Amino acid sequence: MKYKGYTAHIEIDEAAGILFGKVLDVKDVITFKGNTVPELEQEFHNSVDDYLEWCAELGEEPDKPFSGNLPFRTTPQRHHQIFFAAKKANKSINAWMEDVLAKEAAKAISK
């Protein structure tokens, strides 16, 4: 489910007989629930709108979901090194950088 650039993860609570969701990829917690899919969708929209309104009232910039695009600038020499490292691993530069950065990020986060 998507709305205004935000994506929701939906789950079913069979015991309670409800649908509930949480907005993904933002540090703030945005949740919602409903008894039917149309109600859940409306509550998702209401929750995002309330969040954006709340941020505006506080004068804060709302947390935005990540786009997946990560601009990267480097020196020509480093670009050359990255190209050959990726080629040696039989990967594109993007695939090689994704693997290397994901490993390093996981290591840094776990410290």
Give dist(CA 83, CA 26) in Å, integer: 33
- For 47-73, write each residue's pLDDT tens digit: 999 999 999 999 999 988 777 788 889
Same domain as 53, residue 85: no
- For 75-103, write each residue's pLDDT tens digit: 999 999 999 999 999 999 999 999 999 99
> Residue 24 forms beta bridges with which residues?
none
Same domain as 42, residue 12: yes
Same domain as 52, residue 86: no
Q: What pLDDT, on the 0 to 100 scale, is given for residue 92?
A: 93
Residues whose CB is less than 8 angstroms from the CB of residue 19 and which lie 6 or more positions away in sequence, other chains included: 10, 11, 12, 13, 33, 34, 35, 36, 37, 40
Considering the domain boundaries, does residue 35 fall inside one?
yes
Same domain as 52, residue 10: yes
Same domain as 82, residue 54: no
Total number of domains in the chain: 2
Q: What pLDDT, on the 0 to 100 scale, is given for residue 52?
A: 95
